[in-house]
């Protein structure tokens, strides 16, 4: 059965806000718990203003979390709050350990106390394919792939996954875990490759491609991720892990070229094609070569199907940034202007 009362941690972030918009439209009761870090953008929830409650709080604060559970009385927590950017984890790993590891353990303790009084409760943990490490030219990550994280970000997410499984195996807390590939779409914070490249194109700035642009990521439109999260919440089995991805592997250079070609059509540039702005820069330290998800468990057991291909999703995304400078302009001007992160070790 679909959960009626949902806590969404990190609900002002990129994926969390897409989930909150959907849950609100479906008429669920939603409490967003978000610290509003540099990546938390309340304006991402403008479409559903008045339909959710917001608790501005740190998931590491045990007593605030205990109170949030007791007062809101959730059927589910969707746990998305995290430090999410690999490059920032290279510059400053401490905050990643604090929020992603300590924060997850704190939330698990609050959830455990709440579940002991409310046995229908489910803890749903949102994680990443980066915990599996890097693939060579062949093969896919399955749910049985051993963990082998390389960056401080992915190591902290791997630790959080282990904590969630430990609370299930030791205390019996009902949990579900999903590990998803690279998301993209509207309201994506412009430190990540796709929104950064779109906005640098519009500003006529260089498009930074790490190394030779040959690293491969498996791209999923954010609303397809959200549909998977809702399906796993409704129909997933206790203690199970589901990988989420739509078989959309692209090299980084292909991604940048696709954005340039879309903008050449939708917003032609007087000075010449956008691809003239492509600039090869120093590689990311410890850069994983290739990620690719095998989503067959989610597809075969729960019937999930993505609605967007990379071609349709990237077009929608570019159009969204062209039409919504009210959202990104203040971020570029006041929070993060697009400078290089994570290059120095």
SS3 content of the chain, % helix, strand, coil (to 5): 45, 15, 35
Instruction: Decide which of ligand NAD, ligand DAU, none touches 58; Cβ closer than 5 to 8 Å per partner kind.
Output: ligand NAD
66 is catalytic: no
Residue carrying the six token digits 């062209």: 322
Which 24-53 positions form the footprint of ligand NAD (CB under 6 A)?
Answer: 34-37, 39-40
Q: Which of 14, 274, 291, 321 binds ligand NAD (CB under 6 A)?
A: 14
Q: Coil, strand, or helix at residue 234?
A: helix
Which 117-136 positions form the footprint of ligand NAD (CB under 6 A)?
Answer: 126-128
Residue 97 to residues 103, 158, 161, 344: CA-CA distances in angstroms? 8, 11, 13, 20
Sign of CA dihedral 127, 128, 130, 132: positive
CB nearer to ligand DAU: give 92 or 268: 92
336 is catalytic: no
Using CB under 6 A as the binding rule, whether residue 79 contacts ligand DAU is answered as: no
- Shortest distance in whole angstroms from residue 53 CB to ligand DAU: 26
Q: Which of 3, 76, 84, 252 binds ligand NAD (CB under 6 A)?
A: 84
Instruction: Decide which of ligand DAU, ligand NAD, none touches 284; Cβ closer than 5 to 8 Å per partner kind.
Output: ligand DAU
Q: Which of 80, 111, 207, 226 binds ligand NAD (CB under 6 A)?
A: 80
Residue 42 to residues 101, 242, 330, 336: CA-CA distances in angstroms? 24, 29, 12, 16
Using CB under 6 A as the binding rule, whether residue 210 contacts ligand DAU is answered as: yes
Q: Which of 59, 101, 105, 193 binds ligand DAU (CB under 6 A)?
A: 193
Distance separating alpha carbons of residues 195 and 237, to the nearest angstrom: 35
146 CB burial (10 A radius; 0-12, 13-18, 19+): exposed
Distance separating alpha carbons of residues 332 and 21, to the nearest angstrom: 23
Using CB under 6 A as the binding rule, whether residue 81 contacts ligand NAD is answered as: yes
Positions that interact with ligand NAD (CB under 6 A) = 9-10, 12-16, 34-37, 39-40, 58-60, 80-84, 99, 103, 126-128, 157, 180, 182-183, 189
Q: Which residues are known to be catalytic?
A: 129-130, 153
């Amino acid at each position: 059965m679909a959960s009626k009362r949902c806590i969404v941690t990190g609900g002002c972030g990129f994926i969390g806000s897409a989930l909150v918009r959907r849950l609100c439209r479906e008429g669920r009761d939603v409490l967003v718990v978000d610290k509003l870090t540099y990546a938390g953008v309340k304006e991402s929830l403008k479409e559903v203003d008045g339909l959710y409650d917001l608790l501005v709080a740190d998931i590491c604060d045990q007593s605030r979390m205990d109170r949030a559970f007791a007062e809101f009385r959730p059927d589910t927590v969707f746990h998305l709050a995290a430090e999410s950017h690999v490059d920032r984890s290279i510059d400053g790993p401490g905050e990643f350990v604090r929020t992603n590891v300590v924060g997850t353990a704190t939330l698990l303790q609050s959830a455990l106390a709440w579940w002991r009084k409310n046995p229908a409760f489910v803890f749903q943990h949102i994680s990443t394919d980066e915990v599996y490490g890097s693939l060579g030219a062949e093969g896919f990550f399955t749910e049985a792939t051993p963990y082998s994280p390389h960056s401080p970000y992915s190591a902290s997410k791997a630790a959080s996954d282990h904590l969630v499984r430990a609370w299930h195996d030791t205390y019996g807390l009902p949990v579900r875990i999903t590990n998803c590939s690279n998301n993209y779409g509207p309201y994506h914070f412009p430190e990540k490759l796709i929104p950064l490249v779109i906005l640098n194109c519009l500003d006529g700035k260089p498009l930074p491609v790490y190394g030779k642009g040959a690293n491969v990521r498996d791209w999923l439109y954010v609303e397809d991720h959200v549909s998977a999260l809702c399906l796993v919440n409704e129909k997933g089995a206790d203690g199970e892990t589901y990988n989420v991805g739509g078989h959309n592997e692209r090299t980084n250079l292909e991604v940048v070229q696709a954005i340039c070609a879309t903008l050449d059509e939708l917003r032609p540039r007087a000075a010449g094609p956008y691809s003239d702005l492509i600039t090869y820069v120093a590689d990311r330290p410890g850069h994983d070569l290739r990620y690719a998800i095998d989503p067959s468990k989610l597809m075969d057991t729960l019937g999930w199907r993505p609605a967007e291909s990379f071609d349709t999703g990237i077009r929608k995304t570019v159009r969204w940034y062209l039409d919504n400078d009210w959202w990104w302009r203040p971020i570029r001007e006041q929070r993060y202007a697009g400078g290089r992160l994570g290059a120095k070790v």
